[in-house]
Structure 1
Amino acid sequence: MRAAVVLTAALAATLTAVPFAAWAADPAKTPALAGTSGTGVGGQLAQMGLGLLLVVGLIFLLAWLMRRVQQIGPRSGGQVIKLVASQALGPRDRLVLVQVGGEQVLLGLTTGRITPLHVLKEPVLLPDAEPASAEFAQRLMELLGKDKDKT
């Protein structure tokens, strides 16, 4: 992973150093870059566009590479730890119910600490979320219609 970062930094430094060196030098003494006219605005725009495409392509290449590197690591058979429920207590404090294997643990999360509060003997079964009914959609449309009439 460090090799990829070092390689990326070296490539980025090389790609950015050449155009800046060409722009900083005296245009009369510097030969025009291949494919661009040294003084034309169109040439400068083309060079800038190509540089932008190169940088965006490099970003996508690195994202793909990072995904591939992360997949190489050790694989577990399945998800052993699952988040069952979460409840905010304040801007930075929460209660979290986590299932680890066949056991559920209630955790208290604060800014710098995770505290196990209780290990449940019987797992809590949450009902599956029901989809919004047609009555809810109709009531919502009525409320939105009333807001339009008031303005």
Structure 2
Amino acid sequence: MKTQTTVQQQPAVSSGSPLVQVSGALTAIILFILLAAWLAKRFGLSGKTGSTKGLKVSASCTLGPRERVVIVDVEDARLVLGVTATQITHLHTLPPAPASVDPQPAEPVDFQSLMKNLLKRNGKA
């Protein structure tokens, strides 16, 4: 008398498995976040960080691979600084920049015009 035993083998991971679906969704979300961060950095949409209320870099000129001259506006003067990889040297002090006459408030820009300007600037439209 022979007895037959049938062993059914199930696939290790099926494409409809909840684990595969969740892993795929998580990977897609992480890739989307990285892409959004790269785009924000590329187009300058990221916010300025730090507390630089009275400090603003108004001009910069590169002199070499790691050397540059920078004009920094502070509260009551403009400083000309030499910046290298290892040090910052005060070169000269200029009088404060003249205040602009009646600055116009910036108008809010809608998303459509912003995208058109970005595409024109990159030469794609």
Q: Which has the higher helix share?
A: 1
Give TM-score scaled by structure 2 length.
0.45
Q: Which has the higher contact order (CA 8 A, sep 6+)?
A: 2
